[in-house]
Amino acid sequence: MSTAEAVRSLTETRDRARQLRLLSSPAQFAQVLSEHHMEPWLPYRHLMKLDELLVRCAQDGGQRIIVEMPPRHGKSHLCSRWTPAWYLNRFPARRVLLLSYESDFAMSWGRQARQIILDNQRDLRVRVSGDSSAASRWDLHRMPGGMVTAGVGGPITGKGAHLLIVDDPVKNAEDAHSQVMRDKAWEWWTTTAYTRLEPDASVILVQTRWHDDDLAGRILAEQPKMWTQVRLPALAEEADPLGRAPGEALCPERFDENALALIRETIGPDAWSALYQQRPNPEGGGRFRKSTFRYWSGRVNDQGERFYVLHEPDGAPILAKVSDCWRFATVDLAATTAQRNDYTVLALWDVVPHLAPQRLLLVHRERVRVEGADHLPLLQRFDAQHHPVFVGIEKAQFGITTIQSAIRAGLIVKELHPEKDKWARSETAAIMCEAGRVYFPRAASWLDEWESELLHFPAAAHDDQVDVFSYAAIELARGLNLQRMAKMKEPVTLEERVWASLQNRRKPDIHPMLGAGY
């Protein structure tokens, strides 16, 4: 083979590889066509996850996918700019319908997708038709495919869609919190937008959550079995779709944990939970109300003593010395492998004894999926790390076996008796919240997940965290206090052993939230 032939063969191989990349996915398409731009498209891991879902929607008809992501994380550029151009280059006989919160915004993405094809005609298999090339409605040259854009609530002209992309259908907080606007959006979605779908069409809804009853929320409530939901919070929670550790940032290259902490402090807990963690809180109607939640943070004085700072909504914060508090745990054990979706939850509580009435502080929480055989090792490790004066375990079903095993292993276990149903048990916890006696750790990475379950109870998918809270409140309400312990002489009953253990058990060296010894 001559040098010229070798060069030609190498060029053809490189061109074929380039064409394959252009056809393989929106992310590959974007990388190839933007590689020489001043701001090339970057394959962040969360966008590659989104890319997988977009390819699935394109290749497998009938897909219904909801992706929830925080603002300014690149979802619109991939979904609304690059995906329509890639899709039409790969499937020139199909049509794209793109919807967003208003027509001008949606049209801007149609214009950008059209421009990608116009600027790269030498690399692509399609061209834009000169007969129909408006930004909001354009067709391909000599092919049936094309793109239409529209705003939520507006008319949709043109042909049907094989791929429907809904990108941020909610404009702002005012619209999100208006029942009238939410109802109008739902009626338009069901009577106008959804009727434009071709048989076996796919839909991907990508949005930042604003409200429990926004479009994504209403869809999941009305049609849960028809849709696949993918939550990508700004800070990872347990069982993260990307495999992140809890508290890890979604896109640290743009917004690391420190940047997100500043955003959280600036916009407040409710907006943070909805917009960044994709956990909008319900406005009311459940057992717990957001307005009743209080929070604690930590402080260290010049002598190295650690304090809880109990933040009061209408007054100066209250200081409570950490070493003056006493600690117990409540546990909700998940069922065995027959119910893999259940969680085992361990909650650690500190009681501030010198305040009247006593305050209950959530200090630490673990939420894991484990086999039944792993319950005892989990409890032993938790007890050794945190030294609660007792571990409360519900005496029900398999809990009896675990309680017996834990006692034989030397743990001080208090049996919790489920005398009422879950709703009735939660009443004491709700009352204590209303009275301002319960504080959650303001800096905990899992706080949004904890609060979301409480606020959505009893309609939440899980109630294991509600259970451990309910039992903790019940135990405190039954009169766990230092005065009773001071009057004791010889501990005989299990309950008396619990009280006596408080006087003898040493404090752990490391506080779960505040760090080194105290």
- For the segment 245-282, what is each residue's pLDDT rounded down to a tens digit? 989 999 999 999 999 999 988 988 778 889 999 988 77
Residue 321 near residue 307 (C-beta atoms within 8 A): yes
**Does residue 303 carry a pLDDT above 90?**
no
- Residue 43 is predicted with a pLDDT of 96
Q: Write phi, then psi, for 175 (nearest 5 degrees).
A: -65, -40
What is the Cα–Cα distance from 68 to 144, expressed in whole angstroms?
A: 32
Q: How many CA atoms lie within 13 Å of 40's alpha carbon, on the beta-carbon side?
A: 12
Decide which of 368 and 269 is more confident: 368
Decide which of 31 and 287 is more confident: 31
Which residues are CB-neighbours of 261 under 8 A, at least 6 positions away? Answer: none
Percentage of the chain surpassing pLDDT 70? Answer: 89
What is the Cα–Cα distance from 322 to 503, expressed in whole angstroms?
A: 16
Q: How confident is the model at residue 239 (pLDDT cuts 50, 70, 90)?
A: confident
What is the Cα–Cα distance from 362 to 507, expressed in whole angstroms?
A: 17
**Does residue 418 carry a pLDDT above 90?**
no
Is 3.40.50.300 the CATH number for 290-504?
no
Residue 271 near residue 204 (C-beta atoms within 8 A): no
What is the mean predicted confidence (pLDDT) over 46-74? 95
- Residue 501 is predicted with a pLDDT of 58
Annotated domain spans of the chain = 41-232, 290-504
Mean pLDDT, the chain, integer: 87
- Residue 327 is predicted with a pLDDT of 92
- Residue 328 is predicted with a pLDDT of 94
Task: Choose the weakest-confidence range: 13-17, 222-226, 381-385, 433-437.
Answer: 13-17
What is the Cα–Cα distance from 170 to 233, expressed in whole angstroms?
A: 18
Averaging pLDDT over each range in 63-72, 350-359, 388-397, which range is the top one? 63-72
Which fold, 41-232?
A: Rossmann fold (3.40.50)
- Residue 497 is predicted with a pLDDT of 59
Residue 182 near residue 218 (C-beta atoms within 8 A): yes
- Fill in the amino acid letter for 419: E
Task: Choose the weakest-confidence range: 60-74, 107-121, 301-315.
Answer: 301-315
Q: How confident is the model at residue 504 (pLDDT cuts 50, 70, 90)?
A: low
- Residue 117 is predicted with a pLDDT of 96
Q: How confident is the model at residue 221 (pLDDT cuts 50, 70, 90)?
A: confident
Q: How confident is the model at residue 481 (pLDDT cuts 50, 70, 90)?
A: very low
Q: How confident is the model at residue 488 (pLDDT cuts 50, 70, 90)?
A: very low
Gyration radius of the chain over CA positions: 28
Residue 439 near residue 426 (C-beta atoms within 8 A): no
Three-state secondary structure call for residue 498: helix
